[in-house]
Amino acid sequence: METAIYPGSFDPPTLGHVNIIARTAAIFDRVVVCILKNSAKDSGMFTVAERISMLESVTTDYPNVMIDSSSALLAEYARQYERPVIIRGLRALTDFEYEMQIASLNRRLNHQIETMMMVADNSYTYLSSSVVKQLSRFNKDLGCFVPEPVASAVYSKSGF
């Protein structure tokens, strides 16, 4: 079984993330979306349990997608799968430099890993979880940026 692992913070999941998940699910037998808890990013707006629940609710249309979380290094986490493919999204050249470095590191740590970069859909190249969090502080409409259940969760975290 060909398994793709899509790792990230997903704090919160955006329509850009969902787009990558949908496209990956159309190619691989199984997609494991994994919330990594060892990210250098600060603790975040949502708990890991809340992120899992949001990701589950926005991926119900894709039966071959499962949601997981881990505090292990990605290269170690990936060992439970046979020849896993790591999927990362590329929005801009700035993403590319960072992703190249991480992909090389992961392959050095675990030779079984292949990393594939998926080019962001044109509609979402500007979109990130940080943008969503920033807009929510100004009570802006999030409908174009995140799936509906995520928008409600973000508003209530922001006190609206």
**Nearer to ligand ADP (CB atom), residue 79 or residue 91:** 91
**Nearer to ligand ADP (CB atom), residue 153 or residue 159:** 153
10 binds ligand ADP (CB under 6 A): yes
Instruction: Pick the closest to residue 48 from 91, 73, 13 (CA basis).
Output: 13
Only one residue has tokens 């999941």, namely 13
Please identify which of the residues 17, 51, 88, 133 carries the catalytic annotation: 17
91 binds ligand ADP (CB under 6 A): yes
Please identify which of the residues 9, 70, 129, 136 carries the catalytic annotation: 129
| Binding region for ligand ADP (CB under 6 A) out of 51-59, 74-82, 108-116, 123-131 | 123-131
Q: Just list the catalytic residues.
A: 17, 41, 91, 129
